[in-house]
Amino acid sequence: MEKVFNLVFCMEHQYHYYFYIMVGGVNKHTLLPVSINLRVCICSCLQINHLVIGHNGIMSTPAVSCVIRKRKAVGGIILTASHNPGGPNGDFGIKYNISSGGPAPEGITNKIFEISKSLQEYHICPDLKVDLSKIGKQTFEVDTFKPFTVEIVDSVDDYAEMLRGIFDFAALKELLSGANHINVRLDAMHGVVGPYVKKIVCEELGSPANSAVNCIPQEDFGGHHPDPNLTYAADLVKTMKGGEYDFGAAFDGDGDRNMVLGKHGFFVNPSDSVAVIAANIKSIPYFQKTGVKGLARSMPTSGALDNVAKTLQMDLYETPTGWKFFGNLMDAGKLSLCGEESFGTGSDHIREKDGLWAVLAWLSILATRKQSVEEIMKDHWQKFGRNFFTRYDYEEVDSDAANKMMKDLEAAMFDPSFKGKKFSSGDKTYEVAIADNFAYTDPVDGSVSKNQGLRIIFSDGSRVIFRLSGTGSAGATIRLYIDSYEKDVQKIYQDPQAILAPLVDIALKLSQLHERTGRSGPTVIT
């Protein structure tokens, strides 16, 4: 079971050098030697002497990005129970964020890796003790870094202040606690976003205390997997189907991803979610002030955002999966709003995806339009058409088998005869127009990222995409994405799984995924 407690360290000198560390599965006293190791190994040349830690070691990933930017830090080290396999139990990941508050680009991480191979020694301070429950500054004598100050800060304050400058809190408070308020259900899934939901949504915006559940962060997430999707957030889905609540949302372990549901469990696909926010972006005061510079989505995400960009004449960027690609566009002033099909949505207010921001964006749209989630979504499909989309995840697949399947599939796709080939399932026939392994040239710095996913694009625009991820706690994860656009208003309300069944059948037969992996079906369907 993954563990995640987001613990933020900020090391500062006169030039404000900060390093933020989010740590899982440790207590407040055993952690500090780890922080000093990092300081000496990585940061000694910076003469850092100020360490800032979130109260009780809790801080969400979006809040980390917010604080890095507010304090003008040069970067941050994040230790988190991410899906990257590391540590003794495969539940520990290390991330580095740069001064913009976003994930470090490959050029920087590659340099860090090269330097790590030549390290000869490191020093620790095993006797350093800090009370993480006490807000304020504590000073220590640590070798050449004298004095060495450790500052415990409220984990929510800076982030909440930022959100007040983005949204109309008065309108949101009326929506959540006014005379004609809606009923909401927010599930923090025992991740770090719980205190943020309680303090911002309940205490400040007036939503009843019982509208937020599972808000106490726990190392084992209450024995559940904190992934905001229909499978792992099943309790929320069941509650929403009861009809008592008008709006529901779930968050992941570190607070950067979200799932949105409407009354009776109406599911908003993440690809549709970012498209709806884009189409209603002027409902958010922040964008009324800044304007909209551009939109972006990751390559596997459906083309729903493309339809909005085309209709509203906005620039649209298609990037590989990974928030760092969005960050580069934002830093260059090219991008305002972006999203990924993996339940990640965000904007240029920070350089990470932001689960609570996305939920407040949706609530802002509800407050402006005075409609339900389902009504807003259906109106959107009528105006822009609908991209039917699904993702099949095959988790913990044998790595050798997964790699061999992908290699053989790519070889078949790159055969000259593959383009123009027709595939049929039931009464549907699709002709291959494009077959490639997606590559991306960054329009900002010209860097090229290759091998980002196998794409089969058919002549009608439908897409079948295969990606192999090594970011599971065991083995590999094969992800199959299906995307097909429909404009016919007589068909846009149909079940996505029924509409996409022929394409799913073609993809599974073409790849021989089940036969090659020994699986009879996916672990998760989105």
Structural domain boundaries of the chain?
Answer: 3-156, 386-525
pLDDT for 109 equals 85
Can you tell me the mean pLDDT for 87-101? Answer: 77
The angle at the Cα of 128, spanning 123 to 134, to the nearest 5 degrees, equals: 140
Can you tell me the mean pLDDT for 308-331? Answer: 93
Checking if the pLDDT of 268 tops 70, the result is: yes
Span 3-156: which CATH code?
3.40.120.10
Average pLDDT, the chain: 86
Report pLDDT digits (tens) over 277-302.
999 999 999 999 999 999 999 999 99
Report pLDDT digits (tens) over 453-463.
999 999 999 99
Checking if the pLDDT of 33 tops 80, the result is: no
User: Which residues pair with residue 437 across a beta bridge?
Assistant: 454
Checking if the pLDDT of 51 tops 80, the result is: no
> What confidence tier does 473 reach under pLDDT thresholds 50, 70, 90?
very low
> What confidence tier does 466 reach under pLDDT thresholds 50, 70, 90?
very high
pLDDT for 136 equals 93
Whole-number percent of the chain with pLDDT over 70 = 87
Q: 307, 349 in Cβ contact below 8 A?
A: no
pLDDT for 8 equals 43
Structure tokens at 404: 């061999």
Can you tell me the mean pLDDT for 338-345? Answer: 94
pLDDT for 105 equals 81
Phi, psi of 158, deg, nearest 5: -65, -40
Nearest to 300 by CA among 481, 449, 526: 481
| Residues in CB range of 89: below 8 A, 6 or more apart | 473
Structure tokens at 23: 């740590």
- Could you give the CA distance from residue 20 to residue 59 in angstroms, rounded to a whole number? 10
Checking if the pLDDT of 246 tops 90, the result is: yes
Report pLDDT digits (tens) over 3-18.
333 334 443 333 333 3
Report pLDDT digits (tens) over 146-160.
788 888 889 999 999
pLDDT for 236 equals 97
Report pLDDT digits (tens) over 191-245.
999 999 999 999 999 999 999 999 999 888 888 888 899 989 999 999 999 999 9
* Domain 3-156 identical in fold to domain 386-525: no
Q: Which fold has domain 386-525?
A: TATA-Binding Protein (3.30.310)
Can you tell me the mean pLDDT for 73-99? Answer: 72
> What confidence tier does 35 reach under pLDDT thresholds 50, 70, 90?
very low
What is the residue whose two structure tokens read 């749209």?
A: 365
Alpha helices (H) in 352-488, listed in sequence order: 355-369, 373-384, 399-413
Which is the catalytic residue, given 35, 60, 65, 82?
A: 82
| Per-position DSSP letters for 156-194, written without gaps between them | THHHHHHHHTTS-HHHHHHHHHSTTPPPEEEE-TTSTTH
pLDDT for 57 equals 81
**What amino acid is encoded at 90 in this protein?**
G
- Could you give the CA distance from residue 245 to residue 264 in angstroms, rounded to a whole number? 8
Structure tokens at 2: 């993954």
pLDDT for 224 equals 87
pLDDT for 30 equals 24
Q: Is 372 a catalytic residue?
A: no
Check residue 52 and give left, alpha or beta (phi > 0: left; psi -120 to 50: alpha): beta
- Could you give the CA distance from residue 46 to residue 64 in angstroms, rounded to a whole number? 21
Least trusted range by pLDDT, from 26-40, 146-160, 337-351, 451-465 = 26-40
Phi, psi of 54, deg, nearest 5: -65, 145
> What confidence tier does 322 reach under pLDDT thresholds 50, 70, 90?
confident
Least trusted range by pLDDT, from 4-13, 35-44, 324-333, 428-437 = 35-44
How does 141-152 read in b/e, with b if 16+ C-beta sit within 10 Å?
ebeebeebbbbb
> What confidence tier does 178 reach under pLDDT thresholds 50, 70, 90?
very high
